[in-house]
């Protein structure tokens, strides 16, 4: 313990992870994007809008100065929205340790796919910060519950087992169990795509379609995620784990999920933009939907749920019509790998 850790991002996930790390005995600094946000968080030690009830101890430093936040840090935890990861990493570059100054781990906690390049977040980080020791932390973990110290289990992946173990040791607690995995690509695909499937599950809820429809979307959604992940080089087994079915279930089932809540609003007749404005926080599934469809086409993978989500989000297709089209697809076997 007693690592010096910077949490880059002061949203709900950044606050929850900073609180978790502080409770574990780590020395924590939170970087906020604006001076206004930093000063408000310093004054109140709580974000009453994003994460009410999670009080940040006075020993947790809060700053909007990136150089100060990154100075002498052993670990840097990135929690900004996926669309901001490249810009933030570019700004971080001048303030990171050189090899002579000691080892430094960068932990990505942002879930998404970069729209223009179709890169996963670890690839974006390495594109801006080549040669750095990058890890990925993901799984079924709503900030609201982590901040209340409710039991949570997630998974960390890195290029080396030693790095994964170091991150595991920093975050592990009685109420925060951390597994390790070598499949960074699979974990990031699961993290990004589950948000798109959760939008679809929310749309079904908004239409009043019930539990049967949601169970079908979760099950067939994991099939789509697994197909794409395997085609891109991930392991099928990863998608039956915490960053696959685990994260998908919690995102599709909980009202903590921004993606599900946005989907409910769209199912009730609102546009994607109207839904995002009402949620008042980043809805990653909207950002990742088009990129997921582009990856499906690039790797020649069938992803009908992702296709219909894109039609509803970007081509004004009525949600009921999208569900009807899914239900009326050609007859087929459930699993192409099974023989009679």
For the chain, 340 residues long, give each residue's pLDDT as a single digit of tens.
589 999 999 999 999 999 999 999 999 999 999 999 999 999 999 999 889 999 999 999 999 999 999 999 999 999 999 999 999 999 999 999 987 777 899 999 999 999 899 999 999 999 999 999 999 999 999 999 999 999 999 999 999 999 999 999 999 999 999 999 999 999 999 999 998 999 899 999 999 998 999 899 999 999 999 999 999 999 999 999 999 999 999 988 887 888 888 889 999 988 888 888 887 777 787 888 999 999 999 999 999 999 999 999 999 899 999 999 999 998 888 887 777 8
Domain count, the chain: 2
Question: CA 82, CA 78: separation in Å to the nearest integer?
Answer: 10
The answer to whether 195 touches 202, Cβ cutoff 8 Å, is no
Tell me which H or E stretch contains 39.
helix 35-44
Q: Are strands 75-78 and 61-63 parallel, antiparallel or unpaired?
A: unpaired
CATH number of the domain at 12, please: 3.40.50.720
Which sign, positive or negative, has the C-alpha torsion 273, 275, 281, 286? negative
User: Which pTM does this prediction carry?
Assistant: 0.92
Query: Is the domain of 156 the same as that of 239?
Result: no
CA atoms in the 13 A half-sphere facing the CB of 284: 24
| Residue 335 confidence (pLDDT) | 81
In this structure, is residue 336 part of a structural domain? no
Report the chain's terminal Cα–Cα distance, integer Å: 55
| Residue 1 confidence (pLDDT) | 59
Identify the burial level of 323 via C-beta atoms within 10 angstroms of its C-beta, where 0-12 means exposed, 13-18 middle and 19 or more buried: buried
Identify the burial level of 316 via C-beta atoms within 10 angstroms of its C-beta, where 0-12 means exposed, 13-18 middle and 19 or more buried: exposed
Query: Is the domain of 40 the same as that of 178?
Result: yes
Q: Tokens 């000691």 map to which residue?
A: 102
Question: CA 310, CA 200: separation in Å to the nearest integer?
Answer: 10
| Residue 310 confidence (pLDDT) | 94
Q: In terms of residue numbers, what domain contains 215?
A: 185-327
In this structure, is residue 340 part of a structural domain? no
Strand order of the β-sheet with 75-78 is 61-63, 27-31, 4-8, 75-78, 105-108, 133-138, 152-158, 176-181
In this structure, is residue 248 part of a structural domain? yes
CA 140 to chain centre: 9
Query: Is the domain of 99 the same as that of 120?
Result: yes
End position of a domain, from candidates 134, 155, 182: 182
Query: Is the domain of 143 the same as that of 220?
Result: no
Active site residue 40: no
End position of a domain, from candidates 160, 182, 204: 182
Query: Is the domain of 306 the same as that of 204?
Result: yes
- The residues with which 8 forms a beta bridge, in sequence order, are 31, 78
Q: Where are the beta strands (DSSP E) in the chain?
A: 4-8, 27-31, 61-63, 75-78, 105-108, 133-138, 152-158, 176-181
In this structure, is residue 62 part of a structural domain? yes
List 50, 111, 194, 214, catalytic entry? 194
End position of a domain, from candidates 182, 217, 243: 182
In this structure, is residue 270 part of a structural domain? yes
CATH number of the domain at 264, please: 1.10.1040.10
Which sign, positive or negative, has the C-alpha torsion 261, 123, 135, 33? negative
DSSP state at residue 138: E
Q: Look at phi and psi of residue 131 and say left if phi exceeds 0, alpha if psi is from -120 to 50, else beta.
A: left
């Amino acid at each position: 313990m007693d690592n010096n850790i910077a949490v880059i991002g002061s949203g709900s996930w950044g606050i929850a992870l900073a609180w978790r790390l502080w409770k574990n005995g780590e020395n924590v600094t939170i970087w906020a994007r604006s001076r206004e946000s930093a000063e408000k968080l310093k004054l109140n030690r709580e974000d009453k809008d994003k994460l009410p009830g999670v009080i940040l101890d006075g020993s947790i430093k809060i700053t909007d100065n990136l150089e100060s936040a990154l100075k002498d840090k052993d670990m840097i935890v990135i929690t900004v929205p996926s669309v901001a990861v490249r810009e933030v990493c570019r700004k971080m570059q001048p303030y990171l340790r050189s090899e002579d100054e000691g080892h430094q781990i960068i932990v990505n906690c942002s879930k998404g796919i970069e729209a223009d390049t179709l890169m996963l977040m670890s690839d974006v980080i390495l594109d801006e910060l080549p040669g750095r020791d990058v890890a990925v932390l993901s799984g079924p973990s709503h900030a609201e519950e982590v901040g209340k110290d409710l039991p949570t289990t997630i998974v960390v992946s890195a290029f080396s087992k030693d790095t994964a173990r170091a991150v595991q040791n920093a975050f592990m607690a009685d109420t925060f169990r951390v597994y390790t995995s070598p499949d960074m690509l699979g974990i990031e695909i699961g993290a990004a795509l589950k948000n798109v499937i959760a939008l679809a599950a929310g749309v079904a809820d908004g239409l009043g379609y019930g539990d049967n429809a949601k169970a079908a979307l979760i099950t067939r959604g994991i099939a789509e995620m697994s197909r794409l992940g395997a085609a891109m080089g991930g392991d099928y087994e990863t998608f039956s784990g915490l960053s696959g079915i685990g994260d998908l279930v919690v995102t599709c089932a909980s009202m903590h999920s921004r993606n599900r809540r946005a989907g409910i609003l769209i199912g009730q007749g609102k546009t994607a933009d109207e839904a995002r404005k009402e949620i008042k926080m980043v809805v990653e599934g909207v950002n990742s939907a088009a990129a997921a469809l582009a990856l499906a086409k690039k790797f020649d993978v069938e992803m009908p749920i992702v296709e219909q989500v894109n039609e509803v989000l970007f081509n004004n297709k009525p949600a009921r019509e999208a569900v009807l089209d899914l239900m009326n697809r050609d007859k087929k076997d459930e699993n192409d790998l099974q023989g009679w």
